[in-house]
Structure 1
Amino acid sequence: MRLFRPVVVALAGLALAMAVPPGAAVASKGSFTWVGPKGKPFFVENPPDGKCLTMSQEARGAYNGTAGPVTIYTGKKCDGTSKRLARGEHGPSDMSFSSVKFSAR
């Protein structure tokens, strides 16, 4: 009985791993940083790939420390004027943005 439980747990874990399609939880490795209200720094670590994130407050001075390109948008829901930032690139310090989209490639 002592051996039975670990074997069942291991098999359940293997079945769960096989059920999730590869690439389902892709993230852009690294950090995306920006300056928020009152000059306070903010960041997101390993952001989700391909998903538009809308900022809840003032955001400017973007820095792309992720492995792939990032696009910042002046409007909410990835709308408005856009600026693409390559890996390691800073956005214009005076450009405020309202949403951002990440790409692992």
Structure 2
Amino acid sequence: MMRPFHRITIGLSSIALSLVLPAGTAVATNGTFGWVGPKGKSYSLQNPPDRKCFNMSQEARGARNSTKRPLAVYAGKSCRGHLTRLAPGQSAPSGARFSSVMFNPS
């Protein structure tokens, strides 16, 4: 049985692949985005697409930008509310919570 908090990684990865592969012209942010979820479990997303907003379905904190492009994490869903920009290689404080993320925002 798949635990609920594993679904977000699989779901985000599936969304990323479906957005990048069929379009052919979609641009992906190379690298890995990592964060901490429920019960301190680490999650990551490889090569996410640019300028797409991803809502976190569960607790998310401690964003780590190991990509080659900037990203923004948002306090609210749908990339709204207070935002924190993270340059390539930058991490948010470990306790900093967020509800959505956009890679290579305008």
TM-score (norm 1): 0.76
Are residues 1:62 and 2:63 paired?
yes
Q: Which digits, 9 at most, give the CA deviation of each residue in 1:64-100, with x for residues without a partner?
A: 0011001000000000110000000011111100000
Give 1:81's aligned amino acid.
Answer: H
Runs of 4+ in 1 over 2 A off after TM superposition: none
- Give the paired residue count: 85
Tell me, which stretches of 5 or more residues in structure 2 are unaligned? 1-21
1:53 is matched with which residue? Answer: 54
CA RMSD of aligned residues (A): 2.0
Q: Equivalents in 1 of 2:48, 2:23: separation in Å?
A: 19
Q: Report the TM-score when normalising by structure 2.
A: 0.75
Which amino acid in the other structure matches residue 29 of structure 2? S
Q: Is the 8 A contact 1:29 1:104 kept in 2?
A: no
> Map of 1:13-24 to 2, 5 A cutoff?
24=25
Code of the residue aligned with 1:84 in structure 2: it is R
